[in-house]
Amino acid sequence: MSKRILMVEDTEDNRQIIRDLIATTEYELIEAADGAAGIAAARAHRPDLILMDIQLPVIDGYEAARRIKADPALRHIPIIAVTSYALSGDEAKALAAGCDGYIAKPFSPRQLLSEIRGFLS
């Protein structure tokens, strides 16, 4: 059974980059374009990993991560923040919100894949 990754990302270009990257792997990709849809998709699909943008419409990635981690049925799912917020303190803020990993955009596809495999192996 292939592992499922939920990508919560509002920018189509970024979604396409991750889509192309995941297409080269054995993983199945589920997509959501805003924080609220991301939480709903996490509940519906129970993914093995979540890639969470931080700047999202409706509910931002910090709040979406907090809500997912507050749900006993979902709290075990690792969340990697994938964000253009790369200022000092942003990684700590993402981790404090419940994210388990942090990758700054623009990211190297190899780096992202390595991070994904680290959580899913």
Cis geometry, peptide bond prior to residue 106 (ω within 30 degrees of 0): yes
Range of weakest confidence among 19-28, 64-73, 104-113: 104-113
CA distances from 90 to 23, 53, 101, 117 (A): 29, 12, 12, 23
User: SS3 for 23?
Assistant: helix
pLDDT score at 92: 93
**For residue 63, how far is the Cα from the chain centroid?**
13
Q: What is the CATH number of domain 4-120?
A: 3.40.50.2300
64 conformational bin, left if phi > 0, alpha if psi -120 to 50, beta if neither: alpha
Mean pLDDT of 34-45: 98
Its pTM stands at: 0.96
Q: What is the mean pLDDT of the chain?
A: 95
Question: What is the per-residue pLDDT for 41?
Answer: 98
Task: Give residue-wise pLDDT tens across range 51-95.
Answer: 999 999 999 999 999 999 999 999 999 999 998 866 778 899 999
